[in-house]
Structure 1
Amino acid sequence: MAVRSIAVGALILVVAYVCGGVGAEQEHPRKPGAPREKHCRAETPADDGWISQCSGKISCPSTCPRCHLSCKFCGMIYCPRCNKIGSVCQDPRFIGGDGVTFYFHGEKDKNFCLVSDSSFHLNAHLIGKRPPGRSRDFTWIQALGILFGPHKLYVGARRVATWDGAKDHFLVHFDSNAVSIEQGTGAVWEAESGPVKLTRLEATNSLSVFIPGALNASVAIVPISKEESRVHGYEISGDDCFAHLEVNFQFAGLGSRVEGLLGQTYAADWRSPIKEEGIAMPTLGARADRYEASSILTPDCSVSQFHRAL
């Protein structure tokens, strides 16, 4: 019983960190490679979170040591960046500027406008798959196209057949020039011709993207695992693990009329239909063509507010 109490207490600490209740890591030192095992627990005391379906323990992976464990999603693991306002993760799952979660059913191999303001524009390129018998694609964000002033920044994940987390899978270009960032946690690259700073949050596959006065984002590359594919019916084959981005955006200086799939939720007059209708699993799919762009670095969606500086 004492062992279980310690494990539960550790999990409460993890959840408190995700929610902003703990400012610094307060865990005991551990040996390198030791698993971080936590008992599966409900998210709130008032809801057992399907805890009756849980058995044994699930572990935070080494790539996400402060993960959020949830019975409610069959023991799926969520990194903190995916549970904050401004997050875009999974298939794609958004948390808007108003704190409301929604999903977007776009199409694979197309580009969509996430945020569009007068001096800042953000597109996303979707990859995906449609197994036989499904009416829509499963989709994930493969790349971001960021435009600000006269500059263009591309941050994407390379196609990977077999995932190897020890290798870096970022593909980055700034103003059409390839960017090479040294590997190693804390390594920094800064543009000479524009205000862009990229910092490795981990040795590989995790970056901070900082544009002063506009954006501070954490971007990670993750694969679709065999277990995820099995549980959700993705039918992922061995030639592509669909490496994709999980992102948390923090914006600065957005105008009151900002647009885009995510951007509109930061607008001054935004009223979420999801709040009003109380939808259990809200999905934004209708009129998706309003947000479609012709390419990853083109601000030409029909709701675009962007005016390129010369």
Structure 2
Amino acid sequence: MAAARAAIMAAVVLLACAAYEVSAQPRRLPGNAQVFRPKKFGQRDQAFNCNGTNGRQETCFCDKRCPNECIMECPGCKSFCLCDFYPGVVCGDPRFTGADGNNFYFHGKKDQDFCIVSDADLHVNAHFIGKSNPTMSRDFTWIQALGIRFADHRLYMGAQKTVKWDDDIDRLELTFDGAPIEIPVKDGARWESAAVPGLTVTRTAAVNGVTVRLAGVFDIMGKVVPITKEDSRVHNYGVTEDDTLAHFDIGFKFHDLSDDVHGVLGQTYRPDYVNMLSVTASMPVMGGSPSYVSSDIFATDCTVARFGRNAGIAMVTGSAN
């Protein structure tokens, strides 16, 4: 039964994550599971009506680890976070889900850039923002921006600094080769590159959510979210009135990575990857941050960098459809 239930939940999560694939057609979730997204960030304990046994409705709530979006299994009010299941997802104080399905933290350091994925034809850096806590040996950190390199191109995805969060205001910043990417503020609006066939950006919500796709290479879903006062209180983040620390929850899907891929997340896609993290920890932490430090958001100078070892990406983008 346990194995069957795990298989069912894995299928539920893959269906719920259809937004990560621009080309995916809308599909129905099984009748006993629904995605719950509260309307306003930071309003915790918002009730979700779940059809229970004997036709009665149950009042359910998202797990406190993912109050802004969760999968609710009915009946029984079982709540799950997407980050617990979907490989390639990065959420919160960076909690990664590796390609092997295991979760781990990588804290990095605020105001620095780290190599997340580095392959011969693709390089992804993440810029970390954060808050220092004098009682801890590390910073609280979140991913504020991505710098993506392929062929001779540079794609930037950033969450703009925000003093006061408003759900209806777009805080996304997108550029391609230094030029702003302009997309109408409308759910489903789409931008397509004239220079690179197969490169598109599609809004997954009217504001603050997009999927970036390079056909045959990657799909990256980014959602800008704030740190709320309640988040700060519960976790002792120490957020001040001058910055909501807007950051990304991110989902990655990669196609055709080489066996030599590296980086914080990239290494988990290697066929020879062995998880050396502590299996007894409630949430293992990946160390070795000096190996992943890059000098800026587009730099490919981290110790484990693989980018530029061949030029195959030009063939991929040239033939994408």
**TM norm. shorter chain > 0.5:** yes
The structure 2 residue matched to 1:246, chosen from 246, 249, 257, is 249
**1:96 counterpart residue number:** 98
Counterpart residue type for residue 167 of structure 1: I
Distance in 1 separating the partners of 2:106 and 2:62: 29
**1:37 match:** 48
Partner of 2:13: 18
How many aligned positions are there? 270
Determine the C-alpha separation between the residues in 1 that align with 2:237 and 2:79: 15
C-alpha distance after superposition, 1:57-97 (max 9, x if no partner): 5369xxx9862369xxxx9984x366410111110000001
Over 3 Å counting, the alpha-carbon distance change for 1:261 and 1:123 in structure 2 is same
Work out the CA distance in 2 between the residues paired with 1:246 and 1:95.
Answer: 12
1:218 aligns with 2:239: no
Q: Is contact 1:15–1:68 with CA below 8 Å preserved after alignment?
A: no
Residue 202 of structure 1 corresponds to: 205
Aligned-residue offset at 1:181: 1.1
Kept after mapping to 2: 8 A contact 1:220/1:245: yes
2-structure distance, mates of 1:82, 1:155: 24
3-state SS of paired residue (1:145): strand
C-alpha distance in 2 between matches for 1:65 and 1:282:
24
Structure 1 residues 165, 83: CA separation in 2 closer, same or farther (over 3 Å shift)?
farther
What residue ranges of structure 1 are gaps of 5+ in the alignment? 1-12, 40-55
Judged with a 3 Å threshold, the aligned counterparts in structure 2 of structure 1 residues 232 and 69 are, in CA distance, closer, same or farther, namely farther
Q: Could you say if the C-alpha distance between residues 224 and 69 of structure 1 is closer, same or farther in structure 2, counting changes exceeding 3 Å?
A: farther
Residues 231-260 of structure 1 deviation map (CA, whole Å, 9 limit, x = unaligned): 100011111110100011000010001000
Task: Determine the C-alpha separation between the residues in 1 that align with 2:246 and 2:98.
Answer: 24
Q: Which of these residues, 146, 149, 153, is aligned with residue 144 of structure 1? A: 146
Which deviates more, 187-196 or 258-267? 187-196
Following superposition, the deviation at residue 37 of structure 1 comes to 1.1
Tell me the equivalent position of 1:3. none
Q: 1:144 to 1:273 in 2, by over 3 A?
A: same
Distance 1:255 1:15 in 2: 26
Identity %: 39
**2:268 maps to what in 1?**
265
Q: Deviations over 1:167-186 (max 9, x none)?
A: 11001110011111111111
SS in 2 for 1:283: coil
The CA deviation string for residues 85-115 of structure 1, in whole angstroms up to 9 with x for no partner, is: 0111110000001111000121000000000
Q: TM-score, normalised by structure 1?
A: 0.78
- Structure 1 contact 81–218 (Cα < 8 Å) conserved: no
Partner of 1:121: 123
TM value normalised by structure 2:
0.76
Contact 2:83 2:97 in 1 (8 A): no
Counterpart residue identity of residue 231, structure 2 = E
CA displacement, residues 12-43 of structure 1 (integer Å, 9 cap, x when unaligned)? x9997326599514779xxxx7x76157xxxx
Question: How far, CA to CA, are the matches of 1:189 and 1:20 in structure 2?
Answer: 25
Do the aligned residues in 2 keep the contact of 1:189 with 1:197 (CA within 8 Å)? yes
Aligned partner of 1:111 among 105, 110, 113:
113
Q: Is the partner of 2:164 in helix, strand or coil?
A: coil
Structure 1 moving runs of 4+ over 4 Å? 13-16, 19-23, 25-28
Match of 2:305 in 1: 304
**Alignment partners' CA distance in 2, 1:225 and 1:260:** 30
Structure 2 CA distance for aligned equivalents of residues 299 and 229 of structure 1: 34
Change (3 A) 1:293 1:281: same
In structure 1, the residue matched to 2:283 is 281
Deviations 1:254-294 (A, max 9, x none): 0001000000000111011137x443320012x21100000
Name the SS of the counterpart of 1:229 in structure 2.
helix
